[in-house]
A and B are shown apart, each in its own frame.
Chain A
Amino acid sequence: MAGKSGRSIAITKPRSWKQTLFTWESILVIIFILVNIMNACISPKYLSVPGLFNATSSFLEKAFIVLPMACILIMGDIDISVGSTVALSAVFMAMSYNAGVPMGVAILICLLTGTVCGFINGMILARFTELPPMIVTLATQIIYRGIAEICLGDQASGGLTKVAWFSNLYWGSLGPVPYMFIVFVILAVLMGLLIHKTTFGRYLYAIGNNRVTAQYSGIAVQRIRCIVFTMTGTFCAITAIFLAARMGSTRSNIAVGYEMEAISMVVLGGISTAGGKGRFPGAIIAIFIIGFLRYGLGLINVSSQVMLVIIGGLLVLAVMLPKLNFKELLKNKKYI
């Protein structure tokens, strides 16, 4: 960043070790280690290479949605139509396969469906900027799920297991590493680079911090929003592929509630829904915290209801605790 005068301005302030220790990401890493210690105590077989990869396979297909969701929340938007987009793409893929289309083309159709769904979201939001994303994606959530229901009714569209390589996408592995894990790591690294190392990423933060200022500084705010929402659709389709590969068939009611899980993971990762705050690695660690926590609690037969309470509580506490300034609260009685 050396200018003409020869001075250089650092983009970020140098951090002391204390600041590094108390960042949200390091707290998350500590929680992550604690969760793993707990899991290892629960099951002695857990801490082995196949055991760990087995654990990741149990939640990783949802995690693909978290990557673009981080972008959306950084921009200060929200997308609650992702679960329905997953369902619709999966339904279209299975239906086209059963109609005699080769599997490869069916996958392309799936990706295309997701992308179009995302593009429609982005297009409406960019056209009608007054509309809050919450309500638009609420409507498209119902519409996409509705189209899936119109297509399939309450039937299932199965037979996907007949294509061995398709099932292998989820079940197969390269050595001990599942294919899905490899794909996830590649995409996560790419997304991390996109958010933190490119101009595009800086634009996202600028939009999230102050949309009007970003607009006046010459950022094509609406175009970027449209791109990000379209990208979200594509990632939903990727989730749909892995989900279908896992189950071997699809119904119209798959992936219900994925949007809330994805948003919880991103928020736990320290990215605020108000926009402009948080870092991408946090979201990645949060994926693994929630995933491993579920896996571990599942091992000791904790019912899914208790898990709901634990994860909900974790979410609220995680967001509230850093904001509570106890000293100020005690000093400043007007807040109480």
Chain B
Amino acid sequence: MNKKFDIKKLTGSREMSLVVVLVILCAFIQFRNPGFLSAKVIIDMLKNYAVTMILALGMMGVLLLGGIDISIGSTLALSGMCMALLMRDGIVTNTFLAMVIPVIVGLVCGLVVGAIIAYGKVLPIIATLGFMNIYRGITYLAAKSQWVAAYQITTEMKQFAQSSSLTFGLLNNLITIMLVCYILFYVMMRFTRIGRKVYAVGSNPEAAEVSGIKINRIKLMVYAVMGALCGLAGALWVSLYASSQGDMAKGLEMDVIAACVIGGVSLSGGRGSVIGVFLGSLTIAIIGKALPLIGISQFWQNGIKGVIILVAVVLNVLTQRVMDRNNLKGREM
């Protein structure tokens, strides 16, 4: 194999290089533990990481604008906790309602954050840092620092994460919801005006404003969508783990950001795709699920995860450099 071919293929598209990395990773794990590539393990993995994968979508929108949201873990906890508390007190028993309420709570949380960022002109990292504390505090206060345990949650709700009622027995509910979110986002980012506006604002806010895009409204919308997805994720989280604690999803924001970054979303905005995010969050899921499978102690997990993130972003930069150089060459000729 000559080297030129190799580099060209690597730089052809970022998604392609990520697929290559994923295949190598899977092959390695499969080699160490033949039980890895089975339907049961994969469905289990996707089920457990559906929350992270859904949140990565919202985070992609935020990052595309050049912002960041580190309050998502707290928003998830707050909305999930609200629902769980209502369920404990017997006010909500309908599963559908139990899915809608947290989405609304999350939407409101996201709107508040978005309004502060868009109209209050606070930098996203500071605003969401503040709201990370605020929402987490409210979660503890609302629950009076108590848990909502498994027996206080309706059986139907607990079954929701395990059954596959939405697709009439074909696919697990969580995975279905996750896939639907991805398809919706793919269509929205690619084929609708709103999606293109998000990219426009992210790549050049001044140019976008001059061309008549209402930047603040787009910002508000993106953070609101992020919040709503957090709410949805909160409902799924409670359903999956059949309990609700004040400190749930603490630190999840870092996993989600890492998933986006591995998937090639640029933190300076304007660059990133839904497929990339899907592959990135899949990588995070595989790392999280497969390391225990091949007999690596849990204490090694963080170290390995960090190294993989670092290698992924550095590789991203290197491929970008090669790509830019190739583009320049093309122009010279």
Contacts and interface: CB of A to CB of B under 8 A. Distances in A.
A78 B129 contact: no
Interface residues of B, number: 47
A308 B314 CA distance: 35
Contacts of B300: 146, 149-150
Contact of B138 (A142, A143, A154, A309): A309
A335 interface: yes
B253 to A, nearest CB: 10
Interface stretch (A133-141, A163-171, A196-204, A226-234): A133-141
A50 interface: no
Nearest to B268: A132
A315 B299 contact: no
B254 interface: yes
A149 B137 contact: no
A333 interface: no
Contacts, number: 147
A153 to B, nearest CB: 5
Given A312-B134, A315-B126, A131 B317 contact: yes
Most chain B CB within a 10 A radius of its CB, from A128, A139, A303, A323: A139
Chain B contact residues, majority secondary structure: helix
Interface stretch (A40-48, A175-183, A212-220, A267-275): A267-275
A8 B239 CA distance: 71
Given A146-B304, A320-B122, A130 B320 contact: yes
A312 B130 contact: yes
Interface stretch (B79-87, B89-97, B113-121): B113-121
Interface residues of A, number: 48
Contacts of B125: 78, 134, 273
B254 A142 contact: yes
Given A134-B267, A146-B301, A316 B317 contact: no
Contacts of A303: 140, 145
B261 interface: yes
A264 interface: yes
Interface in B48-79: 68
Interface stretch (B27-35, B163-171, B172-180, B305-313): B305-313
5 contacts: A138-B258, A146-B306, A273-B123, A274-B123, A308-B136
Nearest 6 pairs of A and B residues by beta carbon: A146-B303, A312-B133, A146-B302, A143-B306, A142-B306, A308-B137
